[in-house]
Structure 1
Amino acid sequence: MNKLAAGCRHTVVIQPDDTVYAVGDNKLGQCNTASWQHIIEVAAGNVHSAHNTGNAHTLALKADRTVLATGWNTNGQCDVTAWHDIITIAAGWRRSIGVKADGTVVAVGRMNEGACDVADWRDIKAVSAGDWHTLGLQRNGQVVAVGNNERGQCDVTAWRDITAIEAGSKHSVSLKLDGTVVAVGDNQYGQCNVEKWSNIIAIAAGSRHTVGMQANGKIVAVGDNRYNQCTLKEAGTYV
């Protein structure tokens, strides 16, 4: 369960009393979470274009397995009031994804690229949303994907023994049972160069970079480093 989420210009965190605190750009109300209670997971939608950096939305999963949403709703990405029996959530660009207790998946928002075409998914336990594609982790350790596949970010059918998934802007990353990592998709900045990683216990994908945490607490990163987002030599260990 994600207790913390970061959008393009806002940050969301679940407080000890299960309320939600949000700070940052509130242009479209994406930080209007003060009234939320009994929250167990949060997700923050991102933005695709640098020209729309204030356009984002925020999701929250309640203890009763219903979902709340606030913020940018141009494509109906906040229309989640009818959802129930949800066990985990994800927020992408202009869309929201929810996994139900029976392993099926619901989605609302932008339909253009097919990233909401999840109605036939089964046995899903986790989801992740990139800009134009959506990943689903099945209970058997396999991965499914829908949406824009321009850079091969949906070429995941051969993946096996997966324990975690992350969707970047145009790349997909997964953590295997043996602690190795695989990635497909846009590799313009080297964000998919993870084949030498080992002993990984957690992964994260930014728009153009990929981060992993090893069992000893060391952080490794590859990809776009124009803002030093991959400069972790002095970061130390975290576990």
Structure 2
Amino acid sequence: MFIGVRPAAAVSDAEACSRYADKDVIAVSAGYKFSLALKKDGTVWAWGYNRYGQLGDSTTSTRLTPVQVKNLTSIKSISAGYYHSLALDNNGIVWAWGYNGYGQLGNGATTNSTVPVQVKNLTGIKAISAGIYHSMALKNDGTVWTWGNNWYGQLGDGTTTKNAIPVQVKNLADITAISAGGWHSIALKSDSTVWGWGYNYWGELGNGTPSVYTLAHVQAKIVLK
């Protein structure tokens, strides 16, 4: 999702893959200047840039090799954002760490965290997605919940006010998949229609009518052939 500058002394991609190969890894997610990996044992590992604690190892030190995220077990899904990270455990609870200037960790505060904190008032979650400064979660009941930055209405609650705890996206149900973009959000319904909300200057909502932003979700005009 994000592109960084390669240091002059960086090893080749093939060498890096060989050096850190781990057959127990079942999922990966790339953020801005840092990366996450999920192992079969439910632990999460992180490496790269760590100024805001997005590696979750209780430090702000850059790591050139993977370190284990502290205090996380039984994790089944991960998502790396711009400077923050999300993890979903087997009990449907969401955990977050890293930059929190806009409340994107969802713990009711706006202070950064170098270790995972539980997202408040959120249970029964089956999917997560981290954007630049906002976060998304999909509940088992098909509703979508969002928190963090809301400059362009990317939280879908009908306002442009940031929220440090999850709010429900209005008038949206029967959702099966979600994805948080930079300043917009996308959701897939059970009837295979796609819906988007938030920043739309470049037409990223797909509704055929570019605008600075859209507070209410709109349907993308996708033609299946």
Q: Same fold (TM over 0.5)?
A: yes
TM-score between the two structures when normalised by the length of structure 2: 0.70
Give the Cα–Cα distance (whole angstroms) in 2 for the partners of residues 190 and 78 of structure 1.
39
Are positions 1:182 and 2:168 aligned together? no
Give the Cα–Cα distance (whole angstroms) in 1 for the partners of residues 100 and 73 of structure 2.
21
Task: Give how far 1:157 is off.
Answer: 2.9
Q: Label 1:127 to 1:159 Cα distance change in 2 as closer, same or farther (>3 A).
A: same
Partner of 1:140: 91
Structure 2: state its 5+ residue gaps. Answer: 7-11, 57-68, 107-118, 157-168, 208-218
Partner of 2:221: 235
Percent of aligned positions that are identical: 36
Partner of 1:198: 173
Give the Cα–Cα distance (whole angstroms) in 2 for the partners of residues 85 and 221 of structure 1.
35
The structure with higher relative contact order (CA 8 Å, sep 6+) is: 2
Give the Cα–Cα distance (whole angstroms) in 1 for the partners of residues 223 and 127 of structure 2.
21
Task: Give how far 1:84 is off.
Answer: 4.1
Task: Give how far 1:109 is off.
Answer: 0.6
Aligned partner of residue 101 in structure 2, secondary structure: coil
Contact 2:183–2:198 (CA under 8 A) maintained in structure 1:
yes
> For each residue in 1:121-159, what CA deviation from the matched residue of structure 2 results, as whole angstroms up to 9, or x when unmatched?
111001001101000000110000000111000012321
| CA-atom RMSD in angstroms | 2.4
Contact 1:78–1:108 (CA under 8 A) maintained in structure 2:
no
Give the Cα–Cα distance (whole angstroms) in 1 for the partners of residues 45 and 174 of structure 2.
33
Structure 1: state its 5+ residue gaps. Answer: 1-6, 8-45, 48-53, 57-68, 72-76
TM-score between the two structures when normalised by the length of structure 1: 0.66
Partner of 1:113: 52
For residue 186 of structure 1, what is the amino acid of its counterpart?
A: N
Task: Give how far 1:234 is off.
Answer: 5.8
Contact 1:142–1:157 (CA under 8 A) maintained in structure 2:
no
Runs of 4+ in 1 over 4 A off after TM superposition: 77-80
Are positions 1:150 and 2:111 aligned together? no
Task: Give how far 1:195 is off.
Answer: 2.9
Give the Cα–Cα distance (whole angstroms) in 2 for the partners of residues 235 and 222 of structure 1.
14
Give the Cα–Cα distance (whole angstroms) in 2 for the partners of residues 79 and 151 of structure 1.
38
Aligned partner of residue 76 in structure 2, secondary structure: strand
Aligned partner of residue 216 in structure 1, secondary structure: coil
Instruction: Choose from 100, 111, 128 the match for 2:39.
Output: 100
